[in-house]
Amino acid sequence: MKEPASENKPKIGVFSLTGCAGDQLMILNLEDTLIELLSKFEIKSFQEASSYSENIRLDIAFVEGSVSTEHDLEKLKEIRDKSSLLVAIGDCAVNGCVQAMRNSQTSIAERMLDVYGVEDNIYRALEPKGIGEYVRVDFEIPGCPVEKEEVFNTLISLLNGDPPLIPDYPVCVECKLNGYPCVIIEEGKPCLGPIITAGCDARCPSLGLDCVGCRGPIKGETNAKAELEALRKRGYPDKYIINRLRFFAGNFPDIRILGERKNSKGEK
Amino acid sequence: MYKKLLKDDLENFIFILKKFGVVHAPVREAGRVYEFTELTDSKILQLNYTRTMIPPKKFFLKPKEQLYILNRREGFKEIVDDSKIVLLGVHACDINALNLLDRIYIDQFPDRYYKTRRENTIIIGVSCKPDEYCFCTSTNSSYALEGFDLFMHEIDDSYIIRIGSLKGFQIVCESENLLAEASSNDIKEFKRAEAERLKEFTLHLNVNGIQDILDASYDHPVWQENADICFGCGSCNLVCPTCRCYDTADFLNLDLKTGVRVRRWDSCMLKQHGLVAGGLNFRPTRVERLYNRFNCKMSLSEDSLNCVGCGRCTVYCPADINFVEVLKQVGED
């Protein structure tokens, strides 16, 4: 089949804010289909793949990483301005991920002092947040990191003019569809599956492990109080449960208030 | 015509069943739940099981499956699985649930996938003992009158076998050497065992007029109380033998010209179940979805309830919401 002329291919860019670059890596991990897949697009920026970069208007921008500094924020706004569609890839971009686990518990000044020994915010750090806190986001692909199949299907959907299909139901659904025994009910493990976005095909429960929540809670759906209650009943202390919930989801409204420090300028 | 099979001959009987299809039966590996899987060795068979987590409907309406191969130029091609299966050890509640699904997937909205698999599957029921979650006597589904090929009732050292279809009769003919006519004494034992079993039920639910009671109890505080502890995770629907909602999606290949249509079980407890074109959700909150589920289960499909009293939704709820308890609260206060 003849490839469309390059001017007809959607122009895309893949960008990184604060994160481990693992989501970019997952795109590159689409090894079997990568060349053919990416040949359907014109790649104008993709730091992890190439030093080549062109600063022009994009059809789709993919952004990984959280906004954790003023610099991130400036970069994000610039990307938004020059892109027709903005897709958040990975938990960091969706919700702040692990960087946000101590949000509302310690101040930036305290963190600076702990890590760098000075209170001054020399790196212009912000409390880590997902990109949707600052700019309009068209689609979000959760995951820490994203599932490469989900990236593949998202690219194909967008190419075909469809909105990508991202699960908005919890991991429990995938356990049941696969017939995996419930590790909460059968083994009393502290599984976060009931509140965490599916899409991993219940990878951890398939191995008898409890879900740690790496794909983040389902927006607008998560019943964090119920999770706290269900794990309390199975003998887990509040501190353990709250830390576990905050690990990937510190910015989530229902979870943020758990373990929140009343006076954020108080003692260390 | 009632037959009798000695338990000692069960292994030989299974050997004969294998001629009719791949035998699947309740099995439990260490640390796992009971599940219907291929019976590779009759020693792992557990006919005295309580319940499987996933009901046998999974053989007919698959949890997830590919329906068509799509091709823009050549149209679509159905993927129909016509393998022959024997399900050994299906409980009466689950058989009654399949009868209910038959009305929908064969009579009302014929579904080729479901129908083909139903026709290619032999169902052999087995009698069971209730545990504290079973309430099938309340939902009139504790005994199977139809919907099976053979039904085995355990008595002492043997099974009394009822024949439910022509295929069942063929199996009986093939197993001539293993089966005896049930004697009048065997029938007496069968009656006694059935009466004993009924006495063992400890959980009962009064379903008289429950449809009206629920309809009039939309404002009952029990809904919000349970919605507060409910995850909305859909487990109750996904383990339910009578839930039959599904969702479909198309996945395209790289060429954007070919692809596959898949479907998977859906759940009315999930947010997107009520989402329709234009972005409207007709059941936006968890409390509405919870109320709807209880109503659906207690509503009538022709003359039978949409619940067969198997207890799965209570046993497999990670939030420990007790189905019967909720209904009792609504009915009593």
Q: What is the mean pLDDT of residues B144-154?
A: 98
A242 and A204 share a domain? yes
Give residue for tokens 């989530």: A252
Supply A89's token pair: 């890839």
A136 and A193 share a domain? no
Position A87 in a domain: yes
Task: Tell me the shortest Cα–Cα distance from B244 to chain A, in angstroms.
Answer: 13
pLDDT at B150: 98
Contact check, Cβ <8 Å, A33/B254 = yes
Domain count, chain A: 2
Give residue for tokens 């009719």: B20
Inter-residue contact A90 to A64 (CB < 8 Å): yes
pLDDT at B136: 98
Q: What percent of chain A has pLDDT over 70?
A: 95
Predicted TM-score of the model (pTM): 0.95
Q: Give the model's confidence band at A6: pLDDT under 50 very low, under 70 low, under 90 confident, else very high.
A: low
Position A265 in a domain: no
Residues making up chain A, counted from first to last:
268
Listed in order, strand segments (DSSP E) in chain B are 2-6, 22-27, 35-38, 64-71, 75-78, 85-90, 121-126, 150-155, 158-163, 179-181, 246-252, 258-265, 300-301, 304-305
Q: What percent of chain B has pLDDT over 90?
A: 94
A40 and A143 share a domain? yes
Q: What percent of chain B has pLDDT over 70?
A: 100
A137 and A224 share a domain? no
A130 and A16 share a domain? yes
Look at A150 and B42; give whichever has higher pLDDT: A150
Position A110 in a domain: yes
A120 and A12 share a domain? yes
CA separation, residue B198 to residues B143, B185, B193 (Å): 10, 20, 9
- Name the domain boundary from A110, A136, A159: A159
Q: Give the model's confidence band at B154: pLDDT under 50 very low, under 70 low, under 90 confident, else very high.
A: very high
Position A266 in a domain: no
ipTM of the complex: 0.96
Supply A153's token pair: 């299907």
Whether A23 contacts chain B with CB within 8 A: no
Say how far apart CA B246 and CA B26 lie, in whole Å.
Answer: 25
Contact check, Cβ <8 Å, B251/A153 = yes
Q: Give the model's confidence band at A183: pLDDT under 50 very low, under 70 low, under 90 confident, else very high.
A: very high
Task: Tell me the shortest Cα–Cα distance from A169 to chain B, in angstroms.
Answer: 6
Q: Give the model's confidence band at A266: pLDDT under 50 very low, under 70 low, under 90 confident, else very high.
A: very low
Contact check, Cβ <8 Å, A186/B31 = yes
CB-nearest partner of B254 from A37, A169, A233: A37
Computed over every residue of chain B, the mean pLDDT equals 95
Closest Cα in chain A to B317 = A185
CATH for A60: 3.40.50.700
A14 and A144 share a domain? yes
Q: What is the mean pLDDT of residues B155-181?
A: 96
Q: Are strands B22-27 and B35-38 parallel, antiparallel or unpaired?
A: antiparallel
Above 70 in pLDDT, residue A268?
A: no
Above 90 in pLDDT, residue A87?
A: yes
Q: Which of A5-19, A82-96, A205-219, B98-112 has the lowest mean pLDDT?
A: A5-19
Q: What is the mean pLDDT of residues B193-206?
A: 96
Q: Give the model's confidence band at B184: pLDDT under 50 very low, under 70 low, under 90 confident, else very high.
A: very high
Above 90 in pLDDT, residue A98?
A: yes
- Name the domain boundary from A138, A159, A180: A159
Q: Which domain holds residue A41?
A: 6-159
pLDDT digits (tens, 9 = 90+) for B24-71: 999 998 778 999 999 999 889 999 999 999 999 999 999 999 999 999
A134 and A216 share a domain? no
pLDDT at A261: 75
Q: What is the mean pLDDT of residues A131-150?
A: 97
- Name the domain boundary from A112, A132, A159: A159
Q: Give the model's confidence band at A5: pLDDT under 50 very low, under 70 low, under 90 confident, else very high.
A: low
Q: What is the mean pLDDT of residues A84-93?
A: 98
Report the C-alpha dihedral over residues B139, B142, B146, B152, rounded to 10 degrees: 170
Contact check, Cβ <8 Å, B53/A181 = yes
Contact check, Cβ <8 Å, A176/B318 = no
Whether A149 contacts chain B with CB within 8 A: no
pLDDT at A263: 52
Above 50 in pLDDT, residue A265?
A: no
Contacts of A181 in chain B (CB under 8 A): 31-33, 53
Position A100 in a domain: yes
Above 50 in pLDDT, residue A196?
A: yes
